[in-house]
Each structure stands twice: as C-alpha cells, then as structure tokens.
Structure 1
Amino acid sequence: MAVISRQEVEHIARLSCLAFEPDELNRFTAQLNRILEYVARLEALDTSLAAPTSSVLGDRSTPLREDEPREGLTREEALEPAPAQEGGLFKVPRIIE
C-alpha cells in the first residue's frame, strides 16, 4: 500500500500555490492516506467476472442538458481571483527549466 508523507503533501501544496496550517497538513495527510488505502482495497477486488463496459449507462442516452450559448466571463472577471497575473494573463510558477 502506498503511503503519502507530510512532506509530499507540503510539496503538492506548494506546487498548487496553496498554504495550509500545520494541523491542516496533518489532517490532509491522514485523509489522503485513507483514500489510498481504499483505492488499494478496490484494486484487490476480483473483477474477472464483470463484463467490460465503456459506459455505466449501457444503451441508455446520456442525461445531459441541451447546450445553450450564454455570455462568458470578461478577461477582467476571469483574472480577478488569480493570485498572480501579468499582461492580462494568468501568471504561474515556472516548473520546467
């Protein structure tokens, strides 16, 4: 079973430009480990008798709403919550040198 460390959670948070208090990091680390534990249990299930499917809906139609055009956000509205912007664009940390 894969275990995620607090340091890995801190690293992921930094990459995501998120800041957490120490108690939040502890809680998220525990939650992520429970999720990974559950995924490991799912992976251990014998699914050899289950028929392969490409859709859980079978031959029924997908229950989606009709597309209706509507006004989108202006550039200013889209950029407003961004932590950093430059020249009218989202500014993100460089991850590839």
Structure 2
Amino acid sequence: MTVCFLVGGVAGWVARSRWAVLVAPAAFAVACEIGRIGVVGPSVDRPDLSARIGVLVFVVGGGFQAVVQLVPMMLGAAGERAWPGEPRPDTANRLGGTG
C-alpha cells in the first residue's frame, strides 16, 4: 500500500494535473491485467461466472486489488496537489506571477 501511495504521488508530481488521480491507477490496473495474460489460476485466469465460487473469486479478487492498490495510488496522486511548492505554470498568471 505504501509503494502504491508513493507511485501515485510521483505520478501526480510528474503529471502536475488532477488527471493523474484517474490515469495512474487505470494504467496500473491495465498493466497488471496484461501481466496476468497466460497465467493459470482461479483468481488470475478467465473468470468462470457459471458457478457461485467463480463470481465470488471475480468480485473479491478485483475488489481487494482496488482497495489495497488503486485507492492508495489515487490518494497519493491527489495528495501531491496539497503539498506546497513552486506555483504550477497554469496558475502562475492568476497568482500575479509571470509564465
């Protein structure tokens, strides 16, 4: 969770945009799913939604990943905007600076 929070913070700092709150976790989830291609197992293989256990594994597996990985990443990306620092180029003119 700490690593995901830090990755989100770095993504927010690099992007310098609120879009990082949505883009960083989405890119991470896509990368994880691409990495699972070809892996065999009950929670990483194609979901079998014909049985209750298949639905349970699908919902709990994805939900757990979202809570443990994606939410901290979103918080890290959003929290980066709260750190004081040099003004962003898009706000410099509104604050009376040059840019």
Judge same fold: TM > 0.5, yes or no: no
Q: Which has the higher strand share?
A: 1
Higher Cα radius of gyration: 1
Task: Give the structure-1-normalised TM-score.
Answer: 0.33
In proportion to residue count, which structure has more helix? 2
Higher relative contact order (CA 8 A, sep 6+): 2
Give the alignment's TM-score, normalised by structure 2: 0.32
